[in-house]
Amino acid sequence: MDRLLRKRLETRFDGKLLGPVRQRHDETEIHVGTADLVEIMNALHDEADLKFEILADLAGVDTGDQMQVTYHLWSEMTPDWLRVIADGLPRDNPRIPSLTGLWPGAEWMERETYDMFGIIFEGNRDLRRIYMPPDYASFPLRKDFYLADDAARSPGGGVRHMEQTHVPAQASPNAVRRTVKTR
């Protein structure tokens, strides 16, 4: 783990970070708020002693009570991966500024995150579902979405369509029972 990077980040973004800079193995982790996200990312990307030019990953996380968006960055200045966690998105209406201005390549990753979590990236020019069909009802990777084998706990759109609402001709009895249960 890179102590210098930790010192640099703490001095540079003093007061903007939610919580301390965590380090484990070869990863450095900072928590930021959605308000400061774009500014911090611009600084990380542009400034000569940081130069995090490569966006390795963009992931959404549903912690159960709130939403997070995680960015993994790489820079030639440090041997560490930098993990930036945009924290504190409400689950009912998660909104976060988009990074497509900085990395246009983040567009599809943000689309994927929207598709899986319903997180709305403001400023993304093409924020539609990318994996699931356009008329899909729910967001699969949320924590209140259960797999088809315990479909009874799942909200309306969640279950696989073919099992959910269809009473087949010549149905075997347990199939009928399952259908009735999910109704």
Partner 1 sequence: MTQDGREASLPDAVAANVSPAADDTALVPAGERAVGSPIVVPNTLWTSGREGAYPTGSSSYLHLASLEGSDLMLKDDARWGALEVIPTKADIVVDLIRMNSLWPLLSGLACCAIEMMSAATSKNDMDRWGMFPFRASPRQADVLIVAGTLTTKMAGPLVRLWEQMPEPKWCVAMGDCTCSGGRYKRSYSTIEGIDRVMPVDVYIPGCPPRPEGLIYGMMKLGQLVKERRGHWDEHVIAPNVPTDV
Partner 2 sequence: MTASNHHQPHLSSDDPRIMLDGEIGQFESVPPYPPRTEREAEFYSLRDGEMFLNMGPQHPSTHGVLRVVLKINGERVVDLDPVLGYLHRGVEKLCENSDYHHIISQVDPLEYVSSLFTEWAPVMAFEKLLDVTVPRRAEYIRVLTGELLRVSSHALYQGWMALDLGGLAPILYSFIERDEIVEMLAAITGQRMLFNYFRIGGVNGDLNHEFMSRLGDWMSRALKEHETNIGLLNENEIFVRRMRGIGRVDRDMALKMAVTGPNIRAAGVPFDVRRAHPYSVYPELDFNIPVRGSNGGGDSLDRYLLRLDEVRESLKIIDQCLHNMPDGPIMARLPRLLRPRPGRAWAAVEAPRGLYGTYAISDGTDQPFRMKIHDPSFVNMQLVGQLMKNNLIADTMAVMASLDPVMGGIDK
Stretch binding partner 1 (CB under 8 A), from 25-33, 77-85, 99-107, 159-167: 159-167
Separation between Cα atoms, residue 144 and residue 64, nearest integer Å: 8
Q: Which two tokens stand for residue 105?
A: 């390549």
Please tell me whether residue 139 binds partner 2 under the rule CB under 8 A: no
List C-alpha distances in Å: 94 to 18, 38, 99, 167: 18, 16, 16, 37
Q: Look up residue 132 and give its DSSP letter.
A: S
Please tell me whether residue 102 binds partner 1 under the rule CB under 8 A: no
Separation between Cα atoms, residue 169 and residue 183, nearest integer Å: 17
Instruction: Please return the burial class of 58, using the count of CB atoms within 10 Å of its CB with bins 0-12, 13-18 and 19+.
Output: buried
Please tell me whether residue 135 binds partner 2 under the rule CB under 8 A: yes
Please tell me whether residue 161 binds partner 1 under the rule CB under 8 A: yes
Q: Out of 170, 180, 181, 183, which residue is the one contacting partner 1 (CB under 8 A)? A: 170
Residue 130 interacts with which of partner 2, partner 1, none, CB < 5 to 8 Å by class: partner 2
**13-21: long-range contacts, CB 8 A cutoff, minimum separation 24:** 13/40, 13/43, 16/40, 18/87, 18/88
Q: Which two tokens stand for residue 83?
A: 């993990």
Give me the 126-145 binding string for partner 1, x by CB under 8 A, dash otherwise.
Answer: -----xxx------x----x
Tell me which residues touch partner 2 (CB under 8 A): 24-27, 29, 53-57, 59, 61-62, 70, 72, 74, 76, 79, 81, 83, 102-109, 112, 116, 125-135, 137, 140-141, 145, 147, 157, 161-162, 164-166
Tell me which residues touch partner 1 (CB under 8 A): 131-133, 140, 145, 147-149, 158-163, 166, 168-173, 175-176
